[in-house]
Structure 1
Amino acid sequence: MTTTVKRILQIGILLLGLYSLAGFVLAPWIIKSQIIQQCEKRLQTTPKVGAVSLNPFTFELLIKDFLLPSKDQEKPRLAFNHFSVNLTWYALFNQEIRLKSVMLDGAAARFVVFKSGDTNWELTPTGEPEKDTSQDSDWILTLEQIQIRESGVDFFDYTHATPLELPLGPMNLAAANISTSLGSRTSLKSLNISFGEQGSLNLSGDMQLKPVTVNLIVEARQVPLDFLTAYLSDHTYLTLKKGQADTVSRIQYQNGRVRVTGEAQIHDLALVPENQDKPVVEWAQLDLQGIDVTTGPVDLKAAELVLKGLKTDVELRKDGTLNFRSFVKKSPQAPAEAEITKPADATKKAPLKYYIEKLTLSDGLVNYADLQIRPNFKALVHDLEGSVGPISPKADEKIQIALSGQVEAYGKFKGKGFVIPGTKRPTLDLDMNFHNIEMTTFTPYSGHFAGYEIKKGKLFLDLNYKLVNSRIKGSNKVLLDQFTLGDKVESKNATGWPLKLGLALMKDRKGQIKFQLPVEGDVNSPSFSLGNLIWTAVKNMIINIVAAPFDFLASLVGGGDDMQDIRFAPGQSELKAGEKEKLIKLAQALAERPQLNLEIRGEYQAADRQALQVKALEEKLEPLIAKNKDRSKAVRTVAKENLQPEAFEVIEDQFAKDPAGRTAAWEKKTAEALSVSDDELKVLALARGKAVMTELAAGKVETERLYLLSGSAGEAGKAPQVTLLLKEN
């Protein structure tokens, strides 16, 4: 071996030794020093670096037992057991940084967003000008393999009313061929993230960094959703007490747009108001089928939402608002000046587009309470099922509605129809049926508005409501079966009209009350309330019936007018043929209304007194006429016996040349002179009442329901009659 060769070998060995010394000893020391220096400079903290090693021949860098403390020293911002990078050095000649493998093991990161919006990872400015990275670099970065094993991230966000605390992990990632090379596709073999005790999220697929495209399959199982409370707290007073999500979906990103398709389930969800224990909304499962969501702008579509086991409490508060309104926080009003100085389109956002073909309900339950009245009204609707849809923001979209369920223990209801929301003039056509509803449930309302408890009864109600051109028209077919009022209730809101009489008039022999109730109103009126509209219509109907009860009874049997008054000839107690017909119709009506009693009051008038006087005169004339066959002489005899002499002489002188006129005058004056007492008139009136009672009894009206009042003077100016009065029994 020549001296030159030896020298070359010696130099080579020396350079190799120096290279090895620099690579194995000096470079790790420099790398470790730079890590510590940069962390102190940019993050204001001193990291702990256990060991740094570099193999200058395989270009493998290894960092062990790294810990980056937080400023508050509570938990480290970043810690890991093992981080290694393997560089393929010959690729540098092609202006490519190619990392054969990158592996991170046992990492734990902590990311905090403070109330100010700053994070625990804010970098301190160096004072040096930032490099311009706007121009594309000719260098390419490629990661052939990357692995993250048994790592986790704790995420905290204190910008919300309720702070967000979201621990993620353990996390495992395996990916290949991550490159900034144009058109190069990355294979995401698997990204597995654990949520809570049982939740997991798995992602797989491929992506491209230049241009950015993503095509991933997402599988989530039992992912806990309680972290969403933080976002709810910004706008509501609700807490997501529990809830889990499952999904199998695809995420795609291309040309600045994200698209998500697939299926999802949200199950065992419960929303609880602040400072309460009982959920206000909960459900067993919500299936989201045929999801298709895109961004730019946001467009959400779903073939069907299936909601199973919904349970919710709906309360009408004392102030007339629903309980859900109190769960929403009021948005702060922006200063007027700020509104003026905003650019015209600064607040413009693309409208949210959504289209849900159908929402299907099954096994739902709604607890309704009206706290406006005392005692509070409560009703339970359960086994709620049906469908609503489609649901979209389109004003002209026709939404079909089909719902059914049970009310309390045995009642049932159905609803079917459609609604078109409309921008200014919505349209509605809805049929609803309530059958076998226990009326005792509504005792709070009857006590509040009518002043009576409800003793018993069932409700059968068929409704149709149409809303066209801001006017709502309702057709209500009502059946109350065995409806009976109970005890009187003190209520300042109770009406003073005779409700019991009205119900007795309406209740038939089967114990049923049937009626149809049309309602109509302007929904744009400030005072419009559908409940008040219906209640007012019911009240007016009963008032009208009670105001003219015999007209109502006549309408049942086709009777004529004036059924309340049975008229008689003056001085007579025998029924006329026409009045008998009225009583026959009345008997039929009373047979249909067994809850009614009838008071019969015979009355007399001045005409009756005159008729009885004429009758008394005839009784005096009868034997005289029979004796001498001369009425004129008989009248003169009776007149002379009963008139004052002066009165007798006046008539005789006035009609000296008119025997017929003289006789008529004597009859008139004599009849007026004859005495008819009030007792005789009362007897006549009572006889009339008995005649009416006898006729009604003959018409099969139970005499226990007929009450004969004593005879009395009638109202001046009326004909002699019997007045009938209806009473509830």
Structure 2
Amino acid sequence: MKMKLKRSHKALIAIVVAIPLSLIALSTGVKLAGESWLHKHGNPEAKIGDFFFNPFTGRVEFGKIVGGRGENQRLSLFRAEVDLEYWPLFKKRIFLKEVKVSGITLNVEQNEAGELIFGGISLPTPQEPQDAPADDSGEPWGFGVGSIVLEDIDITYRDPSISANVDLKSAEVSSLETWTPLAESPYSVLLSLNGGEFELDGKVRPFAEEVTAKGDLTIDQLPLAWITPILKDSGISSFDGALSLDISHDIAFMKEAGTLTADYKGEVDLSGLKVERNPAIVSLGAAKWAGSGGLNELITLKGVISLGDFSASTVEGGELLTLNALTLNDLSMDGPEKISFGELLVKGLSALKTPSGETFTLNEALINDLSLVDSSRLEVGRAALDTFAVNLSRNKDGQLSFAELLKPFEASDGGSEGEAAPQSAQAASKSNNFSYSIGEVELKGDNSFTFKDDSVSPNYKSNIEEILLTVSEIDSSKIEHPSPFDLHIATDRYGKIDGAGEWTLFKEKPNGSLKLKIDSLNLAPLTSYSQRHIGYRLDSGVLGVNTEATVDEGVLKTVAYIDLKRFEMSSLTPEQKDEYTEELGVPVTLIISLLKDKDENISLEIPMEGDLDSPDVGIGPTVAIVVKKAILSGAKMAAINYFSPLGALSLAGKAFDLLTALSFDPIIYADGDPQLSEEAKAHLDTVAALMDDRPGVSLRFMGVATESDRLVFAKAEAERLAEERAKAAAAEEKMESTTDSGDVEKVDSVNVESVDTKSNEIGASGGAEEEAAQAESAPEPAAPPLPEIDNEVLYELARTRSSRVKDYLTSKGIAQERIIEMSPLIKSGESDLPAVEISL
């Protein structure tokens, strides 16, 4: 028996059958429509495996989507689930109770035209958004999600510059509702970017007027090499390293004001950094920041920054710089214009490594209380370098040892050769207004400086074993304020240099004072340079200097007390014609001999004065010129003053040379006399004493005869001749009287002679007046001419005089080889005196 169904039952059955059929049809339709859309947009083989929609529960499920175009344009989805609640729709709210997506593989590519391609699907370029008309229909629709869960999502992004792979392992966020803007939405994310692990946890309020996000961010070993292409425009050809961080953050964004604030705390680590920018490669083993910071009106930062195992080299492998560690303690930054460090510590620094070793090494540098104020003033409490070494050398071509290391940089700087762009007025003003101060700078520890020069012969080598220096109260804004300093240097084992004083470092015409003492400085090694620059060889010598100098408005005034022990200097040219000989008027070797005492030492007191602000040369060359002139002048005056007891002339500031100045008083003789007077002996005693104290000095003695000597000799000869004639005449007369008479006659003649004699005596008185009258009236006989005296007589007299001077000086202990007798000289001038002349 057939049962007839009621119409209502039929309708119910139809509905029951229609619903699943419609759901199947809807699912199939959506699936086919989706596949069609994918096919039309570049995925002809795309397939959607599953799609299900339950209108009663609001649940949508789809998955097993496979598409893409090859390995580089993949598109796949394993599963997606969405639960929609209907009830909130009545309140104009779209609420998804749950969204789950897993197993996505997607390639995203941006071509050179800027077009984005997602898994082979080319999307149209987004149009500029147009302002939507205001909706005055009432309250806007709300949107909310109970939870979003994402798992196993692999996205690969590639554009002409970079390639990145994001592996989202899991992500979850809950309670996202626009109608509860102040509610916090917890989130957690675990992903990998190019192998670097990211982990985010926290709470966010995305719909509040003040958007906030609080939480933690951890990054573990994020590689950096993938950003290298972005940096190529800046010349960086390689960039490698890894970034790690672990920070807590509190971020807020005010929508209406458009302001962003952030506070964060934690650590940032950078390891294995290597940057190559031709011609240099920079490597950093580790860099770390630990502390806190913020982004408000200003960027703030507090904490510690440390660097380790830093190095810089050339692409060819030359080592430019290595640094074991650098630490910035108590870093504080309140914007770019206010930065301070409690302590900056550098350890294990070396620079410019050559085949012979590092050019510079530093054990430790410590800077305390460093701060930058208003970008215009740098203040440092104290800076100290502890134990550094400088090792410089120059090859035979005069090239410094590290020059080869820097050649690649000279080549890379060959860009534009034009003038640098003019500095803006604002930048120039800032530069001019910038000032700095340092409380104290100290060089301490076992510091050394070594220099070897193969460009000179003999090769020069110097070693400074100790360098200690303190300079305090340095302030570029106080140009009138002097900076005290103290210096100690020990060089080549025995030499020492000590200086102390103060100096206005920043004044155009400086003021200052200096006490300088140089002790036991060996000059012999400097012969390598003296031969090249002044043509003299420094054979030996030890220098000592003691001076106190003052500088007033750029004018240097000082008196230097110089001691030279065992100083020997010889000319490279026999003629000894050079600027120093011309300046002194005598060879340099002679002036050295004049200045040496019996111990072969030289002591000079040299005043110096000169303007350091010379318009033609700088301070260094000006000081050199002042010192040179002062030493030459001082040497002159020292020699003149020492030999002044011998009559050396001081010409009261007039131009003269030393040979003119050292014209000694001669030894004066009586006319025709070769004997030394007592006055002459006293003069020679002074000569002997000075020569004894100057063993390097030899003197020349020249005997001089004059016409007055000739006259004395002529008169003496005339008297001798007259006496001889008188004696001859008397002898002849006597011989004649003896021959003419016999013995008797002799008796008679005697008697007669006696009688005559008596009569003469009787009549003498009577005839005296008559004889006198006759004598007056008789003419005087003419004086006979004086005999001529041969020049050889005068030469012999001159030789005798100089010979007796030499005998006298040798009797006083002066070595005969230091007493040089010159050829005798005859002078015929009216004012010329008989003498022995003394000269150098």
Report the TM-score when normalising by structure 2: 0.64
Query: 1:574 and 1:303 mapped to 2: Cα distance?
Result: 82
| Matched letter for residue 503 of structure 2 | V
Q: Does 1:169 align with 2:242?
A: yes
Query: 2:559 and 2:233 mapped to 1: Cα distance?
Result: 53
Which residue of structure 1 aligns with residue 108 of structure 2? 36
Which residue of structure 2 aligns with residue 217 of structure 1? 303
Which residue of structure 2 aligns with residue 262 of structure 1? 342
Is this contact kept in 2: 1:604–1:682, CA < 8 A?
yes
Is this contact kept in 1: 2:328–2:343, CA < 8 A?
yes
Shift in Å at residue 309 of structure 1?
Answer: 0.8
TM-aligned CA distance change 1:458 to 1:521, over 3 Å: same
Superposed, 1:31-430 pairs within 5 Å as 36=108, 58-62=147-151, 64-69=153-158, 71=160, 76-82=162-168, 84-90=170-176, 92=178, 93-94=180-181, 98-105=185-192, 107=194, 138-154=209-225, 157=231, 163=236, 167-180=240-253, 186-196=263-273, 199-210=285-296, 214-224=300-310, 226=312, 240-254=320-334, 257-272=337-352, 282-294=360-372, 296-307=374-385, 308-311=387-390, 313=392, 345=426, 347-349=428-430, 351-362=433-444, 363-367=446-450, 379-394=462-477, 395-430=479-514
Identical amino acids, percent of aligned pairs: 16
- What SS does structure 1 have at the residue aligned with 2:810? helix
The correspondence for 1:587, drawn from 688, 700, 722, is 688
| Matched letter for residue 441 of structure 2 | L
| Matched letter for residue 628 of structure 2 | W
Shift in Å at residue 139 of structure 1?
Answer: 4.2
TM-aligned CA distance change 1:475 to 1:550, over 3 Å: closer
| Matched letter for residue 293 of structure 2 | M
Shift in Å at residue 449 of structure 1?
Answer: 4.8
- What SS does structure 2 have at the residue aligned with 1:723? strand
Is this contact kept in 2: 1:438–1:458, CA < 8 A?
yes
- What SS does structure 2 have at the residue aligned with 1:175? strand
Shift in Å at residue 461 of structure 1?
Answer: 2.1
Superposed, 1:481-560 pairs within 5 Å as 481-486=565-570, 488=572, 495-496=580-581, 497-523=586-612, 524-527=614-617, 529-542=622-635, 550-551=643-644
Query: 1:606 and 1:692 mapped to 2: Cα distance?
Result: 21
Shift in Å at residue 686 of structure 1?
Answer: 1.7
Query: 2:561 and 2:115 mapped to 1: Cα distance?
Result: 76
Which residue of structure 2 aligns with residue 568 of structure 1? 669
Query: 1:455 and 1:171 mapped to 2: Cα distance?
Result: 66
| Matched letter for residue 268 of structure 1 | G
Shift in Å at residue 166 of structure 1?
Answer: 5.1
Which residue of structure 1 aligns with residue 758 of structure 2? none
Shift in Å at residue 413 of structure 1?
Answer: 1.4
Shift in Å at residue 225 of structure 1?
Answer: 5.1
Is this contact kept in 2: 1:260–1:293, CA < 8 A?
yes
Superposed, 1:430-445 pairs within 5 Å as 430-445=514-529
Is this contact kept in 1: 2:675–2:801, CA < 8 A?
yes
Which residue of structure 2 aligns with residue 118 of structure 1? none
Query: 1:573 and 1:47 mapped to 2: Cα distance?
Result: 129
Query: 1:355 and 1:480 mapped to 2: Cα distance?
Result: 41
Structure of higher CA gyration radius: 2
Is this contact kept in 1: 2:691–2:697, CA < 8 A?
yes
- What SS does structure 2 have at the residue aligned with 1:603? strand
Shift in Å at residue 578 of structure 1?
Answer: 2.5
Tell me which moved more, 692-701 or 149-158: 149-158
Unaligned runs of 5+ in 1: 49-55, 110-135, 231-237, 629-654
Shift in Å at residue 566 of structure 1?
Answer: 0.9
Is this contact kept in 2: 1:603–1:712, CA < 8 A?
yes
TM-aligned CA distance change 1:168 to 1:45, over 3 Å: farther
TM-aligned CA distance change 1:600 to 1:103, over 3 Å: same
Shift in Å at residue 713 of structure 1?
Answer: 1.9
Q: Does 1:706 align with 2:819?
A: yes
Which residue of structure 2 aligns with residue 692 of structure 1? 805
Query: 1:88 and 1:58 mapped to 2: Cα distance?
Result: 4
| Matched letter for residue 676 of structure 1 | I
Query: 1:343 and 1:221 mapped to 2: Cα distance?
Result: 35
TM-aligned CA distance change 1:297 to 1:87, over 3 Å: same
TM-aligned CA distance change 1:29 to 1:22, over 3 Å: same
Is this contact kept in 1: 2:110–2:159, CA < 8 A?
no
Query: 1:487 and 1:562 mapped to 2: Cα distance?
Result: 25
TM-aligned CA distance change 1:287 to 1:96, over 3 Å: farther
Shift in Å at residue 359 of structure 1?
Answer: 1.6
The correspondence for 2:838, drawn from 703, 724, 727, is 724
TM-aligned CA distance change 1:570 to 1:23, over 3 Å: farther
Shift in Å at residue 586 of structure 1?
Answer: 1.0
Which residue of structure 2 aligns with residue 462 of structure 1? 546
> In the TM superposition, what whole-angstrom CA distance separates every residue of 1:469-523 from its partner, at most 9, and x where no partner exists?
2322343221111112357358996754411111111111111011122232233
Shift in Å at residue 606 of structure 1?
Answer: 0.8
| Matched letter for residue 340 of structure 2 | V
Is this contact kept in 1: 2:152–2:169, CA < 8 A?
yes
Is this contact kept in 1: 2:640–2:648, CA < 8 A?
no
Which residue of structure 1 aligns with residue 37 of structure 2? none
| Matched letter for residue 531 of structure 1 | A
Is this contact kept in 1: 2:382–2:440, CA < 8 A?
yes
Is this contact kept in 2: 1:47–1:67, CA < 8 A?
no
- What SS does structure 1 have at the residue aligned with 2:447? strand
Shift in Å at residue 88 of structure 1?
Answer: 3.7
Q: Does 1:599 align with 2:679?
A: no
Is this contact kept in 2: 1:367–1:378, CA < 8 A?
yes
**More contact order relative to length (CA 8 Å, sep ≥ 6):** 1
Is this contact kept in 1: 2:306–2:326, CA < 8 A?
yes
Q: Size of the alignment, in residue pairs?
A: 634
Query: 2:556 and 2:804 mapped to 1: Cα distance?
Result: 52
Unaligned runs of 5+ in 2: 1-11, 13-18, 20-52, 63-78, 84-97, 121-144, 197-206, 274-282, 650-660, 730-773
Query: 2:533 and 2:113 mapped to 1: Cα distance?
Result: 77
Query: 1:445 and 1:40 mapped to 2: Cα distance?
Result: 66
- What SS does structure 2 have at the residue aligned with 1:421? coil
> In the TM superposition, what whole-angstrom CA distance separates every residue of 1:237-295 from its partner, at most 9, and x where no partner exists?
x984322442142333446644232222233334439xx76788523234233233235
Is this contact kept in 1: 2:99–2:148, CA < 8 A?
no
| Matched letter for residue 685 of structure 1 | A
Query: 1:404 and 1:443 mapped to 2: Cα distance?
Result: 25
TM-aligned CA distance change 1:86 to 1:292, over 3 Å: farther
Is this contact kept in 1: 2:338–2:373, CA < 8 A?
yes
Query: 2:511 and 2:117 mapped to 1: Cα distance?
Result: 66
Shift in Å at residue 410 of structure 1?
Answer: 2.5
- What SS does structure 1 have at the residue aligned with 2:265? strand
Is this contact kept in 2: 1:223–1:246, CA < 8 A?
no
Is this contact kept in 2: 1:291–1:300, CA < 8 A?
no
TM-aligned CA distance change 1:546 to 1:87, over 3 Å: same
The correspondence for 1:612, drawn from 707, 710, 713, is 713
Report the TM-score when normalising by structure 1: 0.72
> In the TM superposition, what whole-angstrom CA distance separates every residue of 1:692-719 from its partner, at most 9, and x where no partner exists?
2233233332334223345332474421
- What SS does structure 2 have at the residue aligned with 1:529? helix
| Matched letter for residue 536 of structure 1 | K
